[in-house]
Every structure is written in C-alpha cells, then in structure tokens.
C-alpha cells in the first residue's frame, strides 16, 4: 500500500533546473542567480529570458526578445469585444482565465502538439511564449477600463513591460520610481519552484494541451487565497486593523482563535521570505523619496510584522512575499482585486519556462491513490433498498 502524504508535501514531482529554494537560509535563486542580484541589477524582460533559456542573454539577444514582446502586446478586437460581454462585477482572475483560454481560438497554431509526441520545435515554443506573456499584461490592463465603462488605451512600443503596463492600467505616464518598483515586483514573482499553479502547468502540459490552456489552468490554481490571492487578503486585513497601535491586539486575537494572519508564514521558508525583505526595502525607499508622505497602511504593516516576529519567529513563521506587495500595488493606484492578476502576469514567465521544460522529456502525469471506500459488494435493485 502506497504511503499517502496530504498535499504531496515533500514529494518530488519533477526534475527542474529553473529555480531553487533553501528554506532554512532564506535563499531563492533563478538558474543559480540569487533573487537579490536580479532584483537589483536585472529587468523583468531579462529575467524572463533567463528563466526561459537558462542563461543571461547577450545585449543583442535581449534586444530581440524585448522587441518581440513589444510588438506582440496588441490583441485582436474580437478579444476586446468578448471581454466587453463579461460582467463588470466579475473577479479579474476569472476574467483573465477566460480571456487567456480564448486566445487559442483567435490565434490558432497548435499543430505542433497534435501528435503523440511532445513538441520539439523551439521556434514554436518561443513564439507562443512571447505572444502569451506579451498579451497577459495587456489583457489585465484592458479589463480595468472595460469594467469601468471605458475604452482601454492602446499599448505603447516605446515603453518597457512594467512602464507599458502601468500606462495602460492608469492611462497616465508612469512615475519612473513606481515603474521600477513594478519591474522589481514582476521579477520577484516570476518563479518559485513547484508550487500549486506550476504543478498545474506540469500536469496540463504533460497531456500536450495547448499553451493557452496550460496557462489558463495555472491561473485557476493561482486564484485561490491559499496561493496568489493572499496579497489581496493582506490589504483587507490591514484596513481592518486600522492603525499601528491596534496591531498587537489584532494579532493576539487571531492567534488565540487559531485564525490566519495573512502574509505570514510560508511552507518553504523557515526564515523571512527573501522577496519580502526586498519589498520592504522598496517600501522604505518610497517613503524616503516622498518624505514620509505615503499611505499610513505601511506603518500598520510594519507594526504587524514586528508583533508577528516577536510571537511567531520561534516557530519559523515570518513575512512572505504577499505581505508587502499588495501595499505597493495600492500606492500605484491598483485596486485590491487586481493584485493577483499582476502576480499571474509575472508568474507566467516561470510557468512558460516549466511548460518548455516539461515538453523536453514529457510523460503524462498519472498519480495513484489510497482507496478508502467500500469493499466489493453486489448491486441492489431499487425496489429492495
């Protein structure tokens, strides 16, 4: 009888050379490069190419990749028309999953995946990767205008990925500092080994489903509050707390009732999430640049983290990446229900890297189970039950 481990905790699902975590030391690396170095020196475009291809690109390679991303930002007007039929009250993650799934109908070309063998056409894989990633940001930004009754602005080829996203989302020229913070946020969320949404990628990719379907499945997994939806919950929690002086009482009440403190703790880390450390520094830099004139929620967040560290550090529970990201997004004028769609835009880079890796040595996933039902028994006619 096979051993059953709830949630497949600690069970290796694949071999991968894309990213690595040392939870005891609080280390996250993409292709061997520490996340701190990438956040400081790289861009989302360069980091994406690193995840996809395995090495940092040359200047010429990066310029070509960036140019392809910029030239594929636009979507057909049919997709815009489709999105206009969605209810304005629908959650942005449900919109994104539906819109991404529909891309294959408007941009056909999955012949590479219709045979019995996994696709080995790197040009097909690269082109599909660029098109999906380029359009993710466009779709999310378009929705913010559509659901409010306005026509969305056209993408701009003269802006970086982060700059164009903020421009399309807000309709204004992006603040350079906020654009750089957005760029770093995209880098930090781009990849994180085999989490729930990435596992969804592996399972769906193993069936040779289209890449649009693969990413749509990952978006569905990411939408849950135990995965990508936690950053929205953090902001709601901080609003409920109200001010720094209420932090201790709130945390103590939650702990006494054994309730979740959103943004605290991570299955992989026994120390502070390295991405949370970087985001906290960005918060401090933004506060300094603005002379302290910034959302008071930042101070409440710091107070909550200090209380949680005092109460929970001995259990290995510290702030994770969700704790500060949502607050930064709010400062950019992004509503809370759109936080997880930004997570999806970023993580799409890692998802597509795993899609490509899965196709290299594909075998369909078919796990087993531990049966706990009835022993064999005979059917009873309905008039004798």
**CB neighbour class for 223 (10 Å; exposed up to 12, middle 13-18, buried from 19):** buried
Given a cut of 90, whether residue 122 has pLDDT beyond it is no
Give every CB contact of residue 68 below 8 A, 6+ residues apart in sequence. 130, 134
Q: Specify the pLDDT at position 199.
A: 96
Compute the distance between CA of residue 103 and CA of residue 100 in angstroms, rounded to an integer: 5
Reported as a single tens digit per residue, the pLDDT across 178-211 is 999 999 999 999 999 999 999 999 999 999 998 9
Residue of 53, 214, 44, 59 lying closest to 122 (CA atoms): 53
Mean pLDDT of 298-312: 91
52-61, 139-148, 252-261, 341-350: least confidently modelled range: 252-261
Catalytic choice (189, 266, 273, 354): 266
Active site residue 78: no
Which residue spans within 170-302 are E strands per DSSP? none
Q: What is the four-CA torsion angle of 213, 214, 216, 220, rounded to 10 degrees?
A: 130
Residue 185's pLDDT is 96
* Dihedral class, residue 45 (left if φ above 0, else alpha if ψ from -120 to 50, else beta): alpha
Band the pLDDT of 383: cuts 50, 70, 90. Answer: very high
Q: Is 30 helix (H, G, I), strand (E, B) or coil?
A: strand
pLDDT of residue 1: 44
Contacts of 251 (CB under 8 A, 6+ apart): 261, 304, 307, 308, 311
Class of domain 230-331: mainly alpha
Q: Is the pTM of this model over 0.75?
A: yes
Cβ within 8 Å of residue 75, ≥6 positions away? 103, 106, 135, 138, 139, 142
Nearest to 298 by CA among 309, 289, 290, 287: 287
- Check: CB of residue 263 under 8 Å from CB of residue 322: yes
Residue 115 binned pLDDT confidence (cut-offs 50, 70, 90): low
Instruction: For residue 312, give the 3-state DSSP assignment.
Output: helix
Task: Please determine, looking at this structure, whether the domain spanning 23-223+348-360 carries the CATH number 1.10.580.10.
Answer: yes
Tell me the three state secondary structure of residue 319.
strand
Cα distance between residue 274 and residue 347, in whole Å: 17
Q: Is 266 a catalytic residue?
A: yes
- Mean residue pLDDT across the chain: 91
In this prediction, residue 333 carries a pLDDT of 87
Over range 262-288, report the average pLDDT.
Answer: 88
pLDDT of residue 38: 98
pLDDT in tens, 18-52: 999 998 899 999 999 999 999 999 999 999 999 99
What per-residue confidence (pLDDT) applies to 194? Answer: 94
Read off the DSSP letter of residue 9: T
Bigger pLDDT: 285 vs 116: 285
Least confident among 146-160, 251-265, 319-333, 355-369: 319-333
**Calpha distance 35→39 (Å, rounded):** 6
Those residues with Cβ within 8 angstroms of residue 281's Cβ, 6 or more apart along the chain or in another chain: none
Q: Catalytic residue among 322, 361, 378, 383, which?
A: 322
Closest CA to 250 of 262, 232, 267: 262
Domain-wise residue ranges, the chain: 23-223+348-360, 230-331
Output the furthest CA–CA distance in the chain (Å, rounded).
Answer: 80
């Amino acid at each position: 009888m096979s051993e059953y481990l709830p949630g497949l905790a600690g069970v290796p699902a694949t071999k991968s050379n894309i990213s690595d975590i040392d939870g005891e030391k609080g280390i996250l690396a993409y292709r061997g490069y520490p996340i701190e170095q990438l956040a400081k020196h790289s861009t989302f475009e360069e980091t994406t190419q690193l995840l996809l291809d395995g090495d940092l690109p040359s200047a010429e390679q990066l310029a070509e990749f960036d140019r392809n991303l910029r030239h594929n930002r636009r979507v057909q007007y049919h997709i815009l028309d489709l999105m206009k039929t969605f209810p304005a009250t629908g959650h942005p993650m449900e919109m994104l999953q539906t819109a991404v799934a529909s891309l294959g109908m408007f941009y056909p070309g999955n012949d590479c995946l219709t045979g019995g063998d996994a696709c080995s056409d790197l040009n097909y894989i690269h082109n599909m990767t660029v098109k999906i990633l380029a359009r993710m940001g466009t779709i999310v930004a378009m929705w913010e205008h559509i659901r409010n009754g306005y026509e969305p602005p056209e993408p701009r080829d003269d802006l970086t990925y982060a700059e164009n996203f903020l421009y399309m989302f807000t309709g204004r020229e992006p603040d350079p500092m906020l654009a750089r913070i957005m760029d770093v946020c995209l880098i930090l969320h781009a990849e994180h080994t085999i989490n729930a949404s990435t596992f969804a990628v592996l399972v769906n990719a193993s069936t040779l489903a289209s890449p649009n379907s693969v990413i749509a499945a990952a978006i569905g997994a990411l939408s849950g509050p135990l995965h990508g939806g936690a950053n929205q919950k953090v902001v709601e929690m901080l609003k409920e707390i109200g001010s720094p002086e209420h932090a201790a009482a709130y945390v103590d009440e939650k702990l006494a009732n054994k309730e979740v403190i959103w943004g605290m703790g991570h299955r992989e880390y026994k120390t502070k999430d390295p991405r949370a450390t970087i985001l906290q520094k960005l918060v401090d830099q933004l506060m300094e640049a603005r002379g302290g004139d910034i959302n008071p929620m930042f101070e409440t967040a710091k107070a909550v983290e200090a209380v949680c560290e005092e109460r929970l550090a001995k259990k290995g529970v510290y702030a994770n990446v969700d704790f500060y990201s949502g607050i930064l997004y709010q400062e950019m004028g992004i509503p809370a229900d759109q936080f997880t769609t930004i997570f999806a835009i970023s993580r799409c880079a890692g998802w597509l890297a795993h899609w490509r890796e899965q196709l290299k040595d594909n075998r369909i996933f078919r796990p087993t189970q531990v049966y706990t039902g009835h022993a064999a028994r005979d059917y009873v006619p309905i008039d004798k039950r």
